[in-house]
Amino acid sequence: MDPILADDLADLPALLDETRHAAAQVLTGLNDRPVARPSTANGAGSAAPEVGVGLRGALREFQQRWESRLSGSAGPRYLGFVTGGTTPASIAGDWLTSVFDQNSFTTVDSGASALERETVGWLGQLFGLTEHTGAFVSGATMSNFVGLATAREWLGERMGISVAQAGVGALGPIHVLSGAPHASIYKGLAMLGIGRDQLQLIPTQSGREAIDIERLTAALDALDGHASIVVANAGTVNTVDFDDLRAIAELKQRYPFWLHVDGAFGAYAALAPEYAHLVDGLTAADSVCVDLHKWLNVPYDAAIQFTRRRDLQVQVFQNTAAYLGTPTGTPDFVHLVPESSRRLRALTAWFTLTAYGRAGHRDIVQRNIAAARQLGERLTTSGLLQLLAPVRLNVVCFTLTDRPTTERVQALTQAITESGETFLTPTIYNGIPALRAAFSNWRTTDADLDRIYDAIITACTSLDKADD
């Protein structure tokens, strides 16, 4: 054994204690850490270490060279994208995932897959998807991909072919309909050989990101009996708008289509009784995408995909080899997802759900929504900023009241980022340059909300000074 590695083995408990100490320092310091650390450094080009420095040396080097360059995205005032944080229990689960280093792809040697199935079942109950089966994937992009792949197989089944066997060319024209799809839907279509161009955008309701049901009905009608894929949204990124899932599901009685719902973070409305109506009808979906590294507040990488047609999913993702067995009965995860070997990704969710339960996670969702609504009200009251959409859930989409030009909104974004107090990401909504503040972190308190508000207003004021 390499002597440095042997030393680390001999000293393992002490080294892990030092690592734990370093982690605790980061976590307790999250509140004071600059929220964003924009980086222009490329990073590539340094020489690979020839002789190592051992874990203790590596930890020191990481702290000296890299730690200060990482963002505070796990902290309470990071409002970019929809990011989420990491609950204490989920971090413990993540550490133990690495410690046990299970390959949750088969059941022949470990109960890891059973633990994953237990967690899938719990999540199904949280989102009202108890008739669905599911599996863990690395993120919502992969979850959408699995849903669309299964939809593609379903289109083939209606024609008496398996697309997984015959190839996508055997299908002929493929129709995918959606109102305001997330970018990952286009990416999924590209990866599946369906093609980005096959996505037919259906107009949304006026001033909304929710699909216009009449226009969707007309588009389905025009397909003249041809089966299609409808991608519905439960929570759009800009304004967290929701398609009327129940109305879309009812259309299935008149038109043949696979209903895939992208509920990456919007599905969490199901946890809060006062918002659950937003995802009414979700249960009727053929496949559903829910991200876990966002609003469940577990570390990257984790999402779940749900489906009603596991048999079709197996047709696509089966990984047959003499040593893997054939997928019969309850198929192993190796036959359900793009990966073969895979970490026991479910353990973070298992830990956080065991530690805090549905009630604890409902509280996170409700507090985040309350914070978003409050920020929306305060920004409006300031007169300096205006909302571009009502705060339906956890995202505030707003812009400058006075001259919301690209330049001014860019300058505002930059000033907010440079404050180190909070971080928001820019967007364009209805052609208007805007900002989004997305609340999805369990740590965010009222005191944080004050700091967020102050940072935005200060940046806004500095903008007007610069103009003078």
Ligand X SMILES: *Cc1c(COP(=O)(O)O)cnc(C)c1O
Residues lying near ligand X in the complex (CB under 6 A): 82, 139-141, 144, 182, 184, 235, 237, 262, 264-265, 291, 303
- What is the nearest approach in angstroms of ligand X to the Cβ of residue 442? 18
> Residue 264 or 346: which CB sits closer to ligand X?
264
**CB 116, CB 104: distance < 8 Å:** yes
- What is the nearest approach in angstroms of ligand X to the Cβ of residue 188? 9
- What is the nearest approach in angstroms of ligand X to the Cβ of residue 312? 22
Rounded CA gap, 396 and 436, in Å?
6
- Nearest in space to 349 (alpha carbons), one of 123, 112, 96: 123
> Residue 192 or 303: which CB sits closer to ligand X?
303
> Residue 309 or 436: which CB sits closer to ligand X?
436
- What is the nearest approach in angstroms of ligand X to the Cβ of residue 136? 12
> Residue 144 or 368: which CB sits closer to ligand X?
144
The residues, any chain, with a CB within 8 Å of residue 213's CB and separated by 6 or more, are: 244, 247, 248, 251
Angle between the N-to-C axes of helices 346-382 and 446-467, in degrees from 0 to 180, rounded to the nearest 10? 50
CA distances to 237, 283, 425 from 437, rounded to whole Å, are: 11, 29, 7
Q: Buried b vs exposed e over 356-370: b needs ≥16 C-beta within 10 Å?
A: beeeebbebbbbbbe
- What is the nearest approach in angstroms of ligand X to the Cβ of residue 147? 11
Structure tokens of 265?
Answer: 């973070």
> Residue 117 or 182: which CB sits closer to ligand X?
182
- Residue 88's CB: how many other CB atoms inside 10 A? 14
- What is the nearest approach in angstroms of ligand X to the Cβ of residue 235? 6
> Residue 271 or 384: which CB sits closer to ligand X?
271
Is residue 328 packed enough to be buried (19+ CB in 10 Å), middle (13-18) or exposed (0-12)? exposed
> Residue 126 or 137: which CB sits closer to ligand X?
137
Strand partners, 383: none
- What is the nearest approach in angstroms of ligand X to the Cβ of residue 7? 39
